[in-house]
Amino acid sequence: MDDVSEIVQTVASLAGAYERLALVVGEAGSGKSTALAAAAEQEGWPLINVGLNLSERLLEVAPQHRAARVSGLIADIVAEAESSVVLLDDIEVLFEPSLQLDPLGLLRDLARYTTVVVWPGEADSDSLTYATPGHPEHRQYSAAHLPLISVR
């Protein structure tokens, strides 16, 4: 099965689930963003560049208030797409330490929509990792119970 078909099939399998979050995973340069863009075009789903959209909105917020407002801003961005399926790419900004976020927790909160996200770090069947240990943006999560779409 090709990557786009796997994304479409995974979205269909999430219909009716309580948490409708799937992560597109693969090494840098593997084509994750390309596959997500092709799925968006084929199915008419909105594809949101989180880094660009969130950064534009954060510019209007005083730095000392950004951590308190960021969850609401990203929720607004997703809601404004007015779609039951939302594809998110370029999420690295969510790992910025000054925003004081739990990026995967935030993505799970957004999953009342069917949300498919390009995971910017490493993934295997057991865990998701962003940045190397010791780096201020480092995060590691369990991948249990999360649909992972592997792009090679």
Q: Can you list the residues of the chain whose pLDDT is less than 70? A: none
What is the distance between the alpha carbons of residues 60 and 53, in angstroms, rounded to a whole number?
12
pTM above 0.85, yes or no: yes
Say what the pLDDT of residue 27 is: 87
With beta carbons less than 8 A apart as the criterion, state whether 147 and 13 touch: yes
107-125 residue pLDDT tens: 999 987 788 999 999 998 8
Enumerate domains of the chain plus CATH numbers.
3-150 (3.40.50)
Sign of CA dihedral 46, 52, 56, 58: positive
What are residue 87's phi and psi, to 5 degrees? -105, 130
